């Protein structure tokens, strides 16, 4: 990627980039939509962020890892909590977001909409 002086910085940001589903590349290969990170006055690494739909898949996978089991195996109350967290993170503004989440939870789109409406209703 860059020089040895940048190595601790690159090592430090790699888990964050991986968690977001991003890709690290040399700064000189950065495209217009990539984010170039500087370290100690020089460009250290470029980060290519994933498309929103890919991010949703990463978020769902992280939620499964955190809970230690497939989201579809959660009880109803836990599934409602997952939907609430995902809504706060903008998951349902992504095209096919409701379908993706419904599939991961093992419920219908209608059920996801019910969970969302329940949140809004109080």
Range of 13-17, 34-38, 72-76 with top mean pLDDT:
72-76
pLDDT level of residue 3 (50, 70, 90 thresholds)? low
pLDDT at position 2:
47
Q: Could you tell me how many residues make up the chain?
A: 122
Please state, in angstroms and rounded to a whole number, the distance separating the CA atoms of residues 115 and 58: 21
Distances (CA, A) of 20 to 23, 47, 79, 96: 9, 10, 22, 19
Q: What is the pLDDT of residues 85-107, one digit of tens each?
A: 999 888 888 888 999 999 999 99
pLDDT level of residue 39 (50, 70, 90 thresholds)? very high
Q: What is the pLDDT of residues 67-78, one digit of tens each?
A: 999 999 999 999
| Annotated domain spans of the chain | 5-48, 53-120
**β strands within the chain, DSSP E:** 23-25, 35-39, 42-48
């Amino acid at each position: 990627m860059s020089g040895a002086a940048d190595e601790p910085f690159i090592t430090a940001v790699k888990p964050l980039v991986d968690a977001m589903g991003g890709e690290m590349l040399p700064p000189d290969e950065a495209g217009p939509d990539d984010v170039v990170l500087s370290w100690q006055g020089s460009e250290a690494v470029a980060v290519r962020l994933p498309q929103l739909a890919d991010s949703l898949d990463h978020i769902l996978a992280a939620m499964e890892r955190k809970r230690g089991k497939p989201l579809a195996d959660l009880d109803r109350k836990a599934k409602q909590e997952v939907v609430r967290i995902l809504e706060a993170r903008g998951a349902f503004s992504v095209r096919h977001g409701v379908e993706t989440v419904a599939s991961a939870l093992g419920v219908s789109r209608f059920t996801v909409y019910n969970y969302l409406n329940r949140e809004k209703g109080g």
